[in-house]
Amino acid sequence: MKLNRIAALLAISAGAIVAPAAQAELKVGTIDMKSVFDSYYKTKDAEAKINESRNQAKKELDERLEAFNKAQEMARKINDEAGKSELSEKAKAEKTKALNEKLQELGVMQREVQEFQQTRERQLSEQSVRSRNSLVEEINKVVTDVVKSAGYDIVFDKSGQSMNAVPVIVHSKEAFDFTSDVVSKLNADKEKKK
């Protein structure tokens, strides 16, 4: 049912494109938005910042895990000492008390490590989304400027995928593609900064 609806919409869209085309020449353009995004120098800068944040988070997590592992080793030693038969009852009771305290401390440390990991993962994900949205907004502004200045009536994204995971645009003439124009405009700032 859903597929029939999509087919009907495509047929209507095709009709809407073809009917006016008979009356006036349409200027059609194509762009590979994935290529634009990947070629934009700020994308690489943003990825580097996110990777730096990931590396810092990993370093902090490793430090916390190292402290947890040391505390765990200490608990094992206390447990081994508490099990020695030559200890007096008083000494065994003290070791058992120390072991219980260390186990409680381990529980707190484990929760803190898990909370830290979840928080950092969420923060990194949010940072990535914010960065991507900002880049997409910048790219869309340049695309809109190019579309307006070139007078395109309709533009298709060649990198788009259909519900069947195949390209929406199966073929188009290279003359329709203005991807390199957009990439050049986006990366012009980088050239000026050099």
The CA-based angle 7-1-6, given to 5 degrees, is 20
More confident residue, 11 or 32: 32
What's the mean per-residue pLDDT of the chain? 86
What residues have CB less than 8 Å from 13, skipping those under 6 apart? Answer: none
Q: What is the reported pTM?
A: 0.70
What residues have CB less than 8 Å from 26, skipping those under 6 apart? Answer: 17, 20, 153, 154
CATH number of 2-193: 3.30.910.20
DSSP 59-112: HHHHHHHHHHHHHHHHHHHHHHHHT-TTS-HHHHHHHHHHHHHHHHHHHHHHHH
- Express each pLDDT in 120-157 by its tens digit: 999 999 999 999 999 999 999 999 999 999 999 999 99
